[in-house]
Amino acid sequence: QQGFRIQSADSANVARFRGTLHFDGRYFPDDVTPATADTWILRRVRPTFEGTLNKIYDFRFTPDFAGGRTIILDAFLAARFKPWATVTAGKFKVPVGLERLVSANDLRFIERGFPTSLVPNRDLGVQIGSDIIGGVVNYSIGYFNGVSDGSSSDANTPNPDVENDTKGDWAARVFFQPFLNSDNFALRGLGFGIAGTYVNSTGSTTSSLLPAYRTPGQQTFFSYRATTAASATAPAVNGTIADGERLRWTPQAYYALGSFAVLGEYVKVSQEVSRLTPTAGLRRATLDNSAWQLQFAWFATGEDQSFRGFTSQSVFDPSQGTWGAIELVARYHELDIDDDAFVGDADSFANLATSASKASAWGVGVNWYLTQNYKWSLDYDVTRFDGGAATGDRPDEKALFTRFAVGF
Amino acid sequence: QQGFRIQSADSANVARFRGTLHFDGRYFPDDVTPATADTWILRRVRPTFEGTLNKIYDFRFTPDFAGGRTIILDAFLAARFKPWATVTAGKFKVPVGLERLVSANDLRFIERGFPTSLVPNRDLGVQIGSDIIGGVVNYSIGYFNGVSDGSSSDANTPNPDVENDTKGDWAARVFFQPFLNSDNFALRGLGFGIAGTYVNSTGSTTSSLLPAYRTPGQQTFFSYRATTAASATAPAVNGTIADGERLRWTPQAYYALGSFAVLGEYVKVSQEVSRLTPTAGLRRATLDNSAWQLQFAWFATGEDQSFRGFTSQSVFDPSQGTWGAIELVARYHELDIDDDAFVGDADSFANLATSASKASAWGVGVNWYLTQNYKWSLDYDVTRFDGGAATGDRPDEKALFTRFAVGF
Amino acid sequence: QQGFRIQSADSANVARFRGTLHFDGRYFPDDVTPATADTWILRRVRPTFEGTLNKIYDFRFTPDFAGGRTIILDAFLAARFKPWATVTAGKFKVPVGLERLVSANDLRFIERGFPTSLVPNRDLGVQIGSDIIGGVVNYSIGYFNGVSDGSSSDANTPNPDVENDTKGDWAARVFFQPFLNSDNFALRGLGFGIAGTYVNSTGSTTSSLLPAYRTPGQQTFFSYRATTAASATAPAVNGTIADGERLRWTPQAYYALGSFAVLGEYVKVSQEVSRLTPTAGLRRATLDNSAWQLQFAWFATGEDQSFRGFTSQSVFDPSQGTWGAIELVARYHELDIDDDAFVGDADSFANLATSASKASAWGVGVNWYLTQNYKWSLDYDVTRFDGGAATGDRPDEKALFTRFAVGF
């Protein structure tokens, strides 16, 4: 069921009501995560109202009420002027990261992997793009306000959902599925592409324009040195700020063969930063942070894998004796901070005693699709860190997550 | 009219759009309530999108935009796996207080009585429960993040809609309507039950995990001593915190006979607290706060009373000369704080000069049901206090409230 | 397309889903506006759920997710008891300003003119009103919590969507379209009226109840002196507060003739203020601020103008070779602050070095209606100021705005 619809007699005007509700339980059987992080949490609460007017004009409204706050997640209008040119304006996903572009309902793991931490999420802007050549090529190019790595414009500081600085970001992506319409069963499910963003802008001590990075358990493990105000016992200290070009690029690929699928992506962010340090004056550097992942999924119940959803063969209904679909998933992913970030002791851009220089994680999980729209998931992720603690390495994070999900 | 619906041809998938809008006028003809409390206020603004997929899988989205802020009120998914077992996960009403479980549109008074101040409102968790034996018994048992007396998880501090402390709360309820399917007219409308919650957890000076209590006019009349920071003229003082077990239990009953109904409930909360006091060191106690109410309702126009809604015999339409339904209501309710809370002067858990030790209130009201979905109400509540003022008793509160309501 | 609808078989119950999404690009080619004001912005994100029950009872829910925050914009219930008497209760537009009462989707300019800065926007209250005599007269009279000039109750301080002070505001409006049902083509499109509000209330140094005024580019150019706390180097200084009567009145007119239309309005606000000044003791004054505008619109593609929407003759669809409708617009508007506000140097009510005493603006624009529901607009407004800068006049603001709009 892809939403509930109301339409005019001639089908020129259609409204669809859809929803995503992800309710998670989190448990950390480790020695590093605070006990208050063991919690029930509304991870996504997204009723959606979308539709089409006059056949080629689209719109979408998707608020998100998750996590104790309310934002507008998607709010855009689009026009499919030509088969090869759709113009979209508003707030929507910036076309960069592969797993980021997977719909939240089609994710194989409860939380996305490290590469997603380096690419934009939602932002405000205007984009042109489309599937062309029968879907063999998909392209997008857009101009956006700009967001930090892994972030949405609703998290922009000091003001959400508007421009932070004086420059917009360019983003572009091209993705190929060369055998999409071929008879070659082994190659039909192959797709690969590349995407990137570019901006040249400068932050400030009140709005650094720099990101923090989080673990698979959604705990912050890396952040740049922050600006601190003067206190009775210590002078003010300037933190690190974005200062110059930021270039992200990410090669990416997906391959499905029968009930088996693999997703791989690599992301590198080159960010020029500066810091007015306590002892070394103004320091500048270009820091290259990178991440990659490999993700595997297999339907134990035999359904076909696909980049966009799948078709379940049955519904779990005890009164009918049917069981739905079972999927097993595994992944390995890493995020590596540029070592130059930690050089210079108190003058460094980041503090190795509190921020790890590398995180490596493996995870396994099971997804039980009770219906096409209801899913119960259980994931276990273990993350190892280099640095990040006063005594050396931050202890391993062990995260056991479960999710009750509805998406339609 | 119970909402607007869209459904698939085979009725396996149904979406319903419902709404609750309560717009209140408040006027206090007394000497204690501040003049700014005389106001128009949006008390409930709740559009709802709910539905069923594959016949047994349910979902609901209900945001609330009332009172100048936005929260997610209800957000859950449920599966009716067996006639005797519905599993619900997400944010919804914790199954404890009887008047709390009455739908906001079916309330007989504009504001609920004192017992509701002691039981949970909405929380995040997982529950199993159902009507069994043809509705003669209803049971629920669940595990939740936990909330303060009378509170919802969106009011949790420091972070809303997640776990506050390191422990979840257990909640359970059983309710009997032994004559529901009987021919005995006098007994058919009788229901009674018992419910409770349990947790063992410890607050902190930044998140005490303790409640404040409010009058029928929604003014705070009791709170525990709060932690205050050091100032130029006074040292820091620690407030009272939850420290140990909290056990709530509540026997409850409802009885309807023709156009007359009575609702009664009693609640007791036993809460272990502690305070690092200025002069007596660490003080500990188990405080028992309790409340009860009796509420009466009578349809002057003869309609039958029922725990869930009623059926109006006409619609108010001046052009047709029809008038709708008229209901008269009355109640008495009390909330009694454990006297041990006030022992110890400056070392006490609560300050009798600012917090009352007991509140007793009576109220009367009239509900004019213009249609099944539109209601105009007028209530008058008078509350008497023991203590709560520097000079002795807090002056009586007199609250005249009116409500324009739509619910469908 | 005026929304998507679900209705009962007898049409007594109808639900409508509507939406407004305005996505704007802002660029300031001037020397005064900060560079961060050049931005993409979600100006209006308003899904609407409204409907009718039992033929004469209406309701509406309209949240707004624009600008990085969420509010409830409209939330009311209404009953059309008699053809000449509709009672409305809740949050809705206060019936005063003419351009304010134009639906956001029917605005001819991206941002409304100066007169709208002096009249209320949305507020909580109860109103009676209706079209009478076949629409020749429309009247409204209501009692509201009260809002500052140009403001909505969600911007009330210290608490949004409730009463700020101890008094409600009366508002009333009457509008005539004497030739609405006449055969006289030249006069049929003529309407004129008058409206006003009245309150007598007193602010405080924490909630002054006084407005600030903004330019067509949405930058603040006038505000009263604010209360400042004592610092290490300066004593506390009291700001200006509302203190006594506030009377707004506004004559207004609209005229449409074929594809040409003109809208004119004048607003005057008389506000009693006071300030406990640093050197002159308590100063009091009645300040008269006023604004007016003339706005012209012309359909280059020949469509008929009308106060409420219009009917497009075609849809822009490159595959069909059709182009939609094109409209050209122009306006002149002024806002003039009472000169007495600036008298008294440091004891004045407002500071001429930071607040302008007058703003005069002209603007031109083009609206391309791709469909009845999709619009692309481009506006250019130039505003000249008297005073408002330390060196004399605040430099001219030049604002180039574009809008991608959907409204249905």
State whether A374 and B164 contact (CB < 8 Å).
Answer: no
Using CB atoms, pick whichever of C6, C23, C374 lies closest to residue A79: C374
**Residue numbers in A near C23 (CB within 8 A):** 75-77, 89-91, 124
Question: Is the CB of residue C364 less than 8 Å from the CB of residue C380?
Answer: yes
**Model confidence band, residue C1 (pLDDT cutoffs 50, 70, 90):** low
Strand pairing partners for A348?
none
User: Is residue C5 within 8 angstroms of chain A, CB to CB?
Assistant: yes
In chain A, pLDDT over 90 holds for what percent of residues? 88
Chain pair A-B, CB pairs under 8 angstroms: 115
Pairing of strands A356-369, A4-7: unpaired
> So what's the pLDDT on residue B313?
84
Q: CB-based contact (8 Å) between A57 and chain C?
A: yes
CA gap C268, C271 in Å, rounded: 10
Taking CA atoms, B226 is separated from A355, B219, B355, in Å, by 35, 18, 12
Helices of type H across C76-128: 98-101
Instruction: Reduce the secondary structure of chain B to three states and give it as a string.
Output: CCCEEEECCCCCCEEEEEEEEEEEEEECCCCCCCHHHCEEEEEEEEEEEEEEECCCEEEEEEEECHHHCCEEEEEEEEEEEECCEEEEEEEEECCCCHHHHCCHHHCCCCCCCHHHHHCCCEEEEEEEEEEEHHHCEEEEEEEECCCCCCCCHHHCCCCCCCCCCCCCEEEEEEEECCCCCCCCHHHHCEEEEEEEEEEEEECCCCCCCCCEEECCCCCEEEECCCCECCCCCCCCECCEEEEEEEEEEEEEEEEEECCEEEEEEEEEEEEEEEEEECCCEEEEEEEEEEEEEEEEEEECCCCCCCCCCCCCCCCCECCCCECCEEEEEEEEEEEECCHHHHCCHHHCCCCCCCCEEEEEEEEEEEEEECCCCEEEEEEEEEEEEEEEECCEECCCEEEEEEEEEEEC
Which residues in chain A (158-197) have CB-CB distances under 8 A to chain C? 159-166, 168
**How many Cβ atoms from other residues are within 10 Å of residue C187's Cβ?**
14
Higher pLDDT, C90 or B309: C90
> Are residues A275 and A225 in contact, defined by beta-carbon separation less than 8 angstroms?
yes
Nearest by CB: C6 against B6, B19, B319:
B6
Q: Which stretches within A79-172 are classed as H helix?
A: 98-101
Q: Which stretch of DSSP H or E encloses residue A176?
A: strand A169-176
Confidence of residue A308 (pLDDT cuts 50, 70, 90): confident
Report the neighbours of C using a cutoff of 3 or more CB pairs below 8 angstroms: A, B
Please compute the mean of the pLDDT values over residues A367-375 and round it to a whole number. 96
For residue C139, CA distances in Å to A4, A294, C57, C362 come to 41, 67, 20, 32
The answer to whether residue A1 scores a pLDDT higher than 70 is no
The yes-or-no verdict on residue C312 having pLDDT over 90 is: no
Selected for mutation to probe chain A from B77, B157, B164 (highest A CB count within 10 Å) is B77
- Amino acid C100: pLDDT: 97
Contacts of C118 (CB under 8 A, 6+ apart): C97, C149, C150, C248, C250, C267, C268, C269, C289, C290, C291, C335
CA-angle at B109, arms to B106 and B114, nearest 5°: 110
Chain C residues near residue A91 by CB distance under 8 angstroms: 23, 42
Are A13 and C4 a contacting pair at CB < 8 A? yes
Distance of CA A217 to the CA centre of its chain: 14
CB atoms inside a 10 Å sphere around CB A235 = 9
Cβ distance C54 to B373 less than 8 Å, yes or no, reads yes
Interface of A with B in 67-96 (CB under 8 A): 67-70
Q: Is C340 on the interface with B (CB under 8 A)?
A: no
* Backbone torsions φ then ψ of B122, nearest 5 degrees: -80, 150
Across the range A276-298, mean pLDDT stands at 96
| % pLDDT > 70, chain C | 100
Closest CA to B158 of C63, C117, A34: A34
Q: Residue written as tokens 């892994």?
A: A150
pLDDT of amino acid B278? 87
Interface predicted TM-score (ipTM)? 0.95
Cα separation, C187 vs C178, whole angstroms = 9
Residues of chain B with pLDDT under 70: 1
Q: How far apart are CA C375 and CA C368, in angstroms?
A: 6
CA-nearest residue to C403 within chain A is A89
pLDDT for residue A250 is more than 80: yes
Segment C206-218 mean pLDDT: 95
Which structure tokens are listed for C5?
Answer: 């609808």
CB–CB of B44/C91 below 8 Å? no
CB proximity A27 to B under 8 Å: no
Residues 6+ apart with CB under 8 A from B225: B237, B239, B240, B275, B348, B349, B350, B351
Q: Does B128 touch chain A (CB under 8 A)?
A: no
Residue C232 has pLDDT above 80, yes or no: no
- pLDDT recorded at residue B164: 84
Q: Which of the 8 DSSP states describes residue C186?
A: H
- The answer to whether the beta carbons of residues C149 and C211 sit under 8 Å apart is yes
- Pairing type for strands A212-214 and C57-64 reads unpaired
pLDDT by residue (tens digit) across A177-229?
Answer: 999 989 888 999 999 999 999 999 999 998 999 999 999 999 999 999 999 98
> Is residue C331 classed exposed, middle or buried when 0-12, 13-18 and 19+ CB atoms within 10 A define those classes?
buried
Interchain contact, B89 vs A23, CB within 8 Å: yes
In whole angstroms, what separates CA B306 from the centre of its chain?
A: 19
To the nearest whole Å, the CA of C42 is away from the closest chain B CA by: 18
Residue B404, min C-alpha distance to chain C (Å): 7
Q: Is A63 on the interface with B (CB under 8 A)?
A: yes
Q: How many alpha carbons lie under 13 Å from residue C282 in its C-beta half-sphere?
A: 4
Residue A26's alpha-carbon distances to A378, A396, A404, B144, in angstroms, are 10, 16, 12, 13
Give the rounded percent of residues in chain C with a pLDDT score beyond 90.
Answer: 88
CA-nearest residue of chain C to A70?
C70
Q: Give CA–CA dist B404/A361, Å, rounded.
A: 56
Average pLDDT, chain A: 95
Lookup: tokens for C147: 């809002």
Of C13, C90, C154, the CB nearest to B23: C90
Give the closest of C13, C51, C70 to B70, CB-based: C70
Q: How far A199 CA sits from the closest chain C CA (Å)?
A: 15
Helix (H) or strand (E) holding C14: strand C14-27
Q: How far apart are CA A12 and CA A150, in angstroms?
A: 37
pLDDT at C165: 84
* Alpha-carbon span B375 to B369, nearest angstrom: 4
Q: Which of A94, A334, A84 is nearest to A221 (CA)?
A: A334
Q: Decide if C317 and A49 are in contact by the 8 Å CB cutoff.
A: no
Average pLDDT over residues C34-47: 95
Which strand (E) or helix (H) includes residue C122?
strand C122-132
Residues B378/B366, Cβ–Cβ less than 8 Å: yes
The per-residue pLDDT for A157 is 86
Please name the chains neighbouring B, where neighbouring means 3+ C-beta pairs under 8 angstroms.
A, C
C347-372 pLDDT, tens per residue?
999 999 999 999 999 999 999 999 99
Instruction: Report how many Cβ contacts below 8 Å link chain A to chain C.
Output: 114
pLDDT at residue A32 above 70? yes
Q: Which residues sit opposite C266 in a β-bridge? A: C292
Distance from CA of A36 to the nearest CA of B (A): 5
Residue A188 neighbours by CB under 8 Å, 6+ apart? A179, A180, A182
Neighbours of chain A (3+ CB pairs under 8 A): B, C
Chain A residues closer than 8 Å to C376 by CB: none
> Tens digit of pLDDT for each residue in A314-327?
899 888 888 999 99
**C-beta separation of A150 from A184 below 8 A:** no
What pLDDT score was predicted for residue A2? 83
How far apart, in whole angstroms, are the C-alpha atoms of residue C308 and residue C261? 12
Cβ-Cβ contacts under 8 Å, A68 against chain B: 71, 154, 156, 159-162
Q: Is C330 on the interface with B (CB under 8 A)?
A: no
Binary contact (C21, A145; C-beta < 8 A): no
Residues 370-389 of A with CB under 8 A from B: 370-371, 373-374
Alpha helices in C246-366 (DSSP H): none
Rounded Cα distance, C94 and B123, in Å = 37
Do residues C274 and C283 touch, judged by C-beta distance below 8 A? yes
In angstroms, what separates the C-alpha of B294 from chain A's closest C-alpha?
A: 35
Structure-token pair, residue B342: 């006030």
Domains of chain B: 4-407 (2.40.160.10)
Whole-angstrom CA distances from C2 to A53, C18, C279 are 11, 7, 60
Contact A112, A100 (CB under 8 A): yes
Q: Distance of CA C72 to CAs A280, C65, C90, C91, Å?
A: 52, 9, 11, 8
* C51 inside 8 A of chain B by CB: yes
Inter-chain residue contact A54 with C17, CB threshold 8 Å? no
Per-residue model confidence (pLDDT) at position C10? 85
The pair of structure tokens assigned to A104 is 């939240």
User: Are C91 and C74 in contact, with CB atoms under 8 Å apart?
Assistant: yes
Indicate yes or no: CB of B17 within 8 angstroms of CB of C6: yes
Instruction: Taking residues A282-305, report their average pLDDT.
Output: 97
| Residue C146 contacts B, CB cutoff 8 Å | no
Q: Is the pLDDT of residue C324 over 70?
A: yes
| Interface residue A21 vs chain B (CB under 8 A) | yes
